Amino acid sequence: MISLENFNLLVYIWMGTALILFPVMLFVTVPYGRHSTKTWGPMVNNRLGWFVMEFPALFLFVFLTLKGNGFPQYIVLGALILWFIHYFHRSIIFPLRIHTKGKKMPLVIMLFALFFNFVNGGINGYWFGYLSPAYPEGWLSSFQFIGGVALFVIGFLINQYHDRILIMLRKSSANGYKVPYGGLFRYVSCPNFLGEIIEWAGFALMTWCLPSLSFFVWTLANLVPRALDHHKWYKSHFKDYPKERKAIFPWVL
């Protein structure tokens, strides 16, 4: 069993890695989806790639949490349920919903994401299964827990709603892309990413621990650069793209 001190050190290193990579990712466009390119090496089926790279986060978190001794806590049970809902959808349902027949992603991108989900799912699962201390009495009725769960649910619904808009656009478009409208698309180019950021901010708030904070930091480091890339792509491909839209945070960025 890993000591708490060594575990925390690993998580700090993991978060530091996100902070180091963040400025790099601002200048490197990740080549999948609308930015896909064959210059990054061998390609794999898009749906298969989504499943392979996302499923480890689902499996590892659930396995480690249930195998450890933290599960009887209601807070841990709540974290398990919310994590399962997100990653069951992301790894099983979402790949079946997307209209990307024939599309591929670079194998190297799938492997990078696979590594991230192994580490992230392992860190959070190990914490809740083996290292998480008992939450104080009254935590279930605290602002942090109730507010965190509310944020997670709101973020999940925002993500789902705007993902559906994008999926329906791909279904109705000959080349798969149109200018999206509706909901928070009025304000930002990537409200689905904004929803995911809100989700994991809520998860970090309700669980109030270092591993969930590390996940939130990584979510920002990953999705903010991707949103900026998407925003630039929209503006370069659609001359009438709404000028008032920001990339991910309304009125800010």
Return d(Cα 2, Cα 122) in angstroms, integer.
Answer: 12
Question: Are 141 and 79 contacting, i.e. CB atoms less than 8 angstroms apart?
Answer: no
Whether the pTM exceeds 0.85: the reply is yes
In Å, the largest CA–CA distance within the chain is: 57
* pLDDT per residue rounded down to tens, the chain (253 residues): 789 999 999 999 999 999 999 999 988 877 766 666 667 778 888 888 889 999 999 999 999 999 987 666 889 999 999 999 999 999 999 888 876 666 788 898 899 999 999 999 999 999 999 999 888 889 999 999 999 999 999 999 999 999 999 888 876 655 567 899 999 999 999 999 999 999 999 999 999 999 999 999 999 999 999 999 999 999 988 988 999 999 999 999 9
Return d(Cα 122, Cα 76) in angstroms, integer.
Answer: 15
Return d(Cα 10, Cα 77) in angstroms, integer.
Answer: 24
Instruction: Note the residue count of the chain.
Output: 253
User: Which has the closest alpha carbon to 67: 53, 80, 54, 84?
Assistant: 80
Strands (E), the chain: 43-45, 104-106
Coil, strand, or helix at residue 132? coil
